[in-house]
Amino acid sequence: MSSNGAGDRYLGIVGAGKAGTAIARAAVAGGYDVAISGSGSAERIQLIVEVLAPGARAVTTEEVARHADLIVLAIPLHRFQDLRRDLFAGKILVDAMNYWDEIDGVDGPFATAPAGTSVLVQKWFSSARVVKSLNHLGYFKFEKSRRPRGMPGRVGMAAAGNDPAAVALVLQLIDTLGFDAVDAGSLESGLALQPGGPIFGAGHTAKELSNLLSRAAVVPLPSSSGARI
């Protein structure tokens, strides 16, 4: 078990909840070797993973970090600072987290992040290559919408980041997971992917996504204005 570098088929997922297990199912179906963790021991999530993401392996977060160069962070936003700042050094870190006031608190930096919460994630994990993605569809819609390339009804999924090579790999991941990948620009542009942004929560085609993103003068609304995902 170890990663062979960017472009391989290893995927790590931190967070074995609704989002993390949905992403794990899609990644296993797409041929990824998936390791997934919760906040505790591997044993604690073993059954959840066996039932909800068969084929993925339940491990600790430390093991996730060793497993892959491509790692999805799918935990409540207010919890990411529980993780060591150097845990993902050199890794591509897909930030699938959203800010929800009732979960993450109404005050503080997440509520007011002017360039989006992924910029704060990048600041914390300064040696990681953060890409915002996999956050703008609810897990149910994610599950129901994913399908092979070329199949009618395929929807788009956007990725935003400042490291073009990292974004390119995340776009490949998105395609493998069953979505048409759309480059949304810089990490700061990831603001448009957040709750209240123009593409959040809806299952748009890639073309619709591109159009909405290019027109986006994004002013995120309070998180209570939309269904929470």
Contacts to ligand NAP by CB under 6 A: 14-20, 37-40, 61, 74-77, 79, 82-83, 96-98, 100, 135, 138-139, 229
Report the nearest approach of ligand NAP to the CB of residue 150 (Å).
25
Q: Nearest-CB residue to ligand NAP?
A: 17
Rounded Cα distance, 102 and 201, in Å: 18
Residues 6 or more apart whose CB falls under 8 angstroms from that of 143 comprise: 22, 25, 26
Q: Which is nearer to ligand NAP, 135 or 176 (CB)?
A: 135
User: CA 168 to CA 40: how far, in whole Å?
Assistant: 32
CB nearer to ligand NAP: give 24 or 167.
24
Alpha helices by DSSP H, listed for the chain, are 18-29, 42-52, 61-67, 101-104, 109-112, 117-124, 139-145, 164-177, 206-215
CA distance 205 to 84: 37
Smallest separation (angstroms) from ligand NAP to the CB of 207: 22
Q: Give the nearer residue to ligand NAP in terms of CB position, either 11 or 14.
A: 14
Q: How far apart are the C-alpha atoms of 199 and 156, rounded to whole Å? A: 10
Residue placing its CB nearer to ligand NAP in the complex, 143 or 150: 143
* Least CB distance to ligand NAP at residue 43 (A): 11
Shortest separation between residue 5's beta carbon and ligand NAP, angstroms: 25
Please say which residue, 7 or 74, places its beta carbon nearer to ligand NAP: 74
User: At residue 50, what are phi and psi to the nearest 5 degrees?
Assistant: -60, -40
For residue 111, the minimal CB distance to ligand NAP (Å) is: 14
Q: Measured in whole angstroms, how far is the alpha carbon of residue 208 from the centre of its chain?
A: 20
